[in-house]
Amino acid sequence: MNKNTIPHFIGVIASVIVIALLVNFTIVDDCLNKGGAFSYETGQCLLANQEIYVASYHTYLVALYFFIGVTVAFYVSKLVRKILSKSGGI
């Protein structure tokens, strides 16, 4: 792996982890608060009466996840690049 791609790779991995945590805090917790059960296989919330629950803000979350993912990847890669350049790695 090229030394210049390592910070980008770490930044992308960090953004995926942050987005996974956000999904858990937003969609899954909202589903459980409504009394449903979240199916990770289908990505849907099933309520007790077998209806599929879709949050009203679900479409806005995609844009939020994209923005947060890009921002986290950018800043983490800058931080990793700075740390590696001070240690003489890059």
Give residue-wise pLDDT tens across range 1-36: 667 788 999 999 999 999 989 888 888 888 888 889
pLDDT value of residue 89: 62
- Distance between CA atoms of 75 and 82, rounded to whole angstroms? 10
Question: So where are the chain's domains?
Answer: 4-81
Q: pLDDT tens digits for 29-82?
A: 888 888 899 888 888 899 988 889 887 777 788 898 999 999 999 999 999 999
Contact present, 54 and 36 (Cβ < 8 Å): no
The angle that helices 6-23 and 58-87 make with each other, rounded to 10 degrees, is 150
- Is the whole-model pTM more than 0.95? no
Backbone angles phi and psi of 43, in degrees to 5: 75, 30
